[in-house]
Chains A and B, each alone.
Chain A
């Protein structure tokens, strides 16, 4: 099953950890908030994506299965 990155904008503080751990799929806007790639997380980045989600200081970043 494919999954995508989602962020809860009310929890995100713009710490930017996600962009450091997962630069392939996360860029930061000019205020430091994440701009997420909307494509499914490719298999080779699954581990990094899970780590980025788990490392978010406010747990705002989520890996959401498609259709879930």
Chain B
């Protein structure tokens, strides 16, 4: 499998094989000074790669402006079953992430650093080893507290992660203040996705202009994506932002109907449309989509988008932690209605119910879960309109009824697939 790139400029985050500390230092040199980190990251326009795309420079500035000694947290919880990019990064290149964590700690004057990783023995083992190597080599100013995130779709949401680190349950909380002002134990807290930290570690070394040499004018750099082609094995790869989705997905090996962009809180777009668009927030915004944390999945024509989405929404409803009434009441009803639609047992009022319940759930939770879930539902209603009409008459055009994307026991699902050993990491394809 090739790791060559179209531009020949080399991979940024995903090396061809796993990197140990000696390799890492040979390739990138020792950890640079944190003095210019804020300025360079701001100039670079680095945005969060956990899905929120918030400018990291602004986050660092907010923490610096807040009273009190800051805490930094690397977020590698990656609760989405279809996403494997943080796992791939942590397995292949942990020292880049750990450099980034040290650099934001130094840049903000933090005296406490945490790294939360998904409940995955391989990742935990890899990070334990990497941290021990750094301890022996004495490269870190600050010890890093490694934590295993609670399993679950919402446990990686910022407020849930911080509650877990504070010794509480990994449940989102209703926040009136930003965690950059008052986060863990009331202190200013910078929570950043692990991929963002890895980019930051490179920006600190090579500068904003280097970072901007990939990507688009408005969205700089590269991003990791977890790609689920309609046929064949899923994989993680690094792309310049703005790469055509047709290049990300590759030539279709089978007939395809739609592309899910942005994961289970994302949207379905018809394949014909998606394949003319690019992997960038600016290019997808007009369709209500965003690359999010980089999950891109294409559905084969012989599978049913309604049944597939019903399965995903059943999972999302089960993953509601039930703290907020509208989510607790709305998502199971929405999931039930989609299931009835998929099974051909829905009454004529099902679409009206789905739209009304979606409206009642929207904007009424403490975390992003209800809004993200109904975004997915809204997109299935428009993208699979014809399939839905067929289902309302008791039909279904699918011939392959096997599940496509993983739900529940996401890790088990990943393990069953040949996903993400570093050797399977593909090279970035540039625009």
Contact = CB atoms under 8 A, between A and B. Distances in A.
A25 B391 CA distance: 40
B329 A8 contact: no
A64 B329 CA distance: 26
Contact of B174 (A9, A29, A64): A9
A6 B326 CA distance: 15
Contacts of A13: 325
A11 B326 CA distance: 12
Nearest to A60: B174
A51 to B, nearest CB: 22
A31 B329 contact: yes
Contact of A10 (B174, B176, B329, B330): B174
B324 interface: yes
A10 B364 contact: no
Nearest to A9: B324
A10 B176 CA distance: 13
B351 interface: no
Nearest to A33: B325
A30 B365 contact: no
A10 B364 CA distance: 10
A9 B366 CA distance: 6
Nearest to B357: A30
A14 B360 contact: no
Interface residues of A, number: 14
A12 interface: yes
A29 to B, nearest CB: 5
Interface string B50-74: 0000000000000000000000000
A31 B174 contact: no
B345 interface: no
Contacts of A30: 360
A35 B176 CA distance: 19
A18 to B, nearest CB: 13
A10 B324 contact: yes
B323 interface: yes
Given A29-B360, A30-B360, A33-B364, A11 B325 contact: no
B173 interface: yes
A12 B326 CA distance: 10
A9 B364 CA distance: 7
A9 B360 contact: no
A28 B279 CA distance: 41
Interface in A23-64: 29-33, 35, 64
A29 B328 CA distance: 13
Q: Which of A10, A14, A29, A32 has the most CB of B within 10 A?
A: A10
A17 B66 CA distance: 38
Contacts of A10: 171-174, 323-324, 366
Nearest to A13: B325
Contacts of B326: 9, 29, 31, 33
A32 B364 CA distance: 13
A7 B167 CA distance: 26
A9 B323 contact: yes
Interface string B157-197: 00000000000000111101000000000000000000000
A25 B196 CA distance: 43
Contacts of B360: 29-31, 35
A48 B251 CA distance: 63
Contact of A14 (B176, B325, B365, B366): B325
Contacts of A14: 325
26 contacts: A8-B174, A8-B366, A9-B174, A9-B324, A9-B325, A9-B327, A10-B171, A10-B172, A10-B173, A10-B174, A10-B323, A10-B324, A10-B366, A11-B174, A12-B324, A12-B325, A13-B325, A14-B325, A31-B325, A31-B326, A31-B329, A31-B330, A31-B360, A33-B325, A33-B326, A35-B360
Given A10-B171, A31-B326, A64-B176, 18 more contacts: A8-B366, A9-B174, A9-B323, A9-B324, A9-B364, A9-B365, A10-B174, A11-B174, A12-B325, A13-B325, A14-B325, A29-B360, A30-B360, A31-B325, A31-B330, A33-B326, A33-B329, A33-B364
Interface of A: 8-14, 29-33, 35, 64
Of all A-B residue pairs in the complex, the 8 with the closest CB atoms, nearest first, are: A9-B324, A33-B325, A31-B329, A10-B323, A8-B174, A10-B174, A10-B366, A14-B325
